[in-house]
Amino acid sequence: MEVSSFLKDLQLRWGAWMAVFSPQLVLLELHDDSLKGQSHSARSPGPVTIDTPLPPQTCRDGMPLEAEALGDLIGDLLARDKLINAYVLASLPPEASLCRVVDWPSADPVPENPIAALRNLDPSLNLPYALADACLDVQPLPGHPKRLLVAATPRKLVEAWEEVFDLAGVRLDRLAPAQTCLLAGLAPELTGLAASELVAVVAPGEEDSRLILLRGDVPVFEKILPSDPEELAAEFDRCVAFYRRQDPSCRGLTVFLSRPWDHAELLVPPGSPAPVEPFHGNYGSLVLQGLASPLVAA
């Protein structure tokens, strides 16, 4: 099946499921310093009603440090919006997970249960913890039948967030790595890109920002950037220049923003033909859009 047809088929099936069962959902994007969220009913998202800063040291490096306070806050916010009985789909803080692109080593097709197969293979993923101590999210990269995006998160961190949602008294349906959600939200834009095309995804933040570079639709580079707009732009330029030196065969540059940002013009030098694609849509961010995507739900 062609990739575009595959995506379209998934979207149609997801839309049909949502229309028939119409569960009330909450999409929640977790960060060390903030929460952002919105409801999702049937086929359309509701407005962003949760956009709440967190006190310092509430979370650190993706790990919740004040579980009871966080649980109370999340429960109160959902009760306020009359969503306490909704199913919650949450993205982990981006610091929580590490992503690796893995080429399936066997001549056989990727198994139906790639997570179990990957654990049996136990490949070296250069993680700071053992694979046995990690929760894994494995997603096929569209157009690459034997290439997988593997997101690893320490099991203790995942269990800590599960405790937070248990204390909140809500129904947690899914915890997904932020990187997986981000790429799922961007998937329609990446479909059909040449493999040599350089793509930059910038996620501006209050305390720090993040950059993901892709070659076509395959992640190749990730870095934390400063939050100050001019410092962010300068570091962005250095990162792009660095990657081009490592991979001189890459071509072009398309820049996507993960959420609305008032300083997009700083990311492109004057006179450059490279466009900055502003964030559009009814979702609060690409991560929230990806949470609602069938690519994450699959």
The correct CATH number of 192-280 out of 3.40.1580, 3.30.160, 3.30.420, 1.10.1200 is 3.30.420
pLDDT digits (tens, 9 = 90+) for 187-216: 888 887 888 889 999 999 888 899 999 998
Return the pLDDT at 43. 72
Q: Which amino acid is at 139?
A: Q
User: Whole-angstrom Cα distance, residue 193 to residue 195?
Assistant: 6
Tell the CATH superfamily of the 3-95+154-182+287-297 domain.
ATPase, nucleotide binding domain (3.30.420.40)
Domains 3-95+154-182+287-297 and 192-280 alike in fold: yes
Return the pLDDT at 274. 61
Return the pLDDT at 121. 84
Q: Which pTM value belongs to this model?
A: 0.85
Q: Which amino acid is at 208?
A: D
Return the pLDDT at 105. 79
Backbone phi, then psi, for 233, in 5-degree steps? -65, -40
pLDDT digits (tens, 9 = 90+) for 58-103: 999 999 999 999 999 999 999 999 999 999 999 999 999 999 998 8
Return the pLDDT at 282. 84
| Half-sphere exposure for 5 (CA within 13 Å, toward CB) | 2
Return the pLDDT at 10. 56
Query: What region does 191 belong to: left with phi over 0, alpha with psi -120 to 50, or beta?
Result: beta
Return the pLDDT at 296. 64
| pLDDT tens, the chain, 298 aa long | 344 444 555 555 555 555 445 578 999 999 999 999 999 987 789 999 999 999 999 999 999 999 999 999 999 999 999 999 999 999 999 999 999 998 887 777 788 888 988 898 888 889 999 999 999 999 888 777 788 899 999 999 999 999 999 999 999 999 999 999 999 998 888 887 888 889 999 999 888 899 999 998 889 999 999 999 999 999 999 999 999 999 999 988 889 988 888 888 888 765 566 667 766 678 999 999 999 887 565 4
Domain boundary assignment for the chain = 3-95+154-182+287-297, 96-153, 192-280
- Which residue carries 């248990």 as its tokens? 166
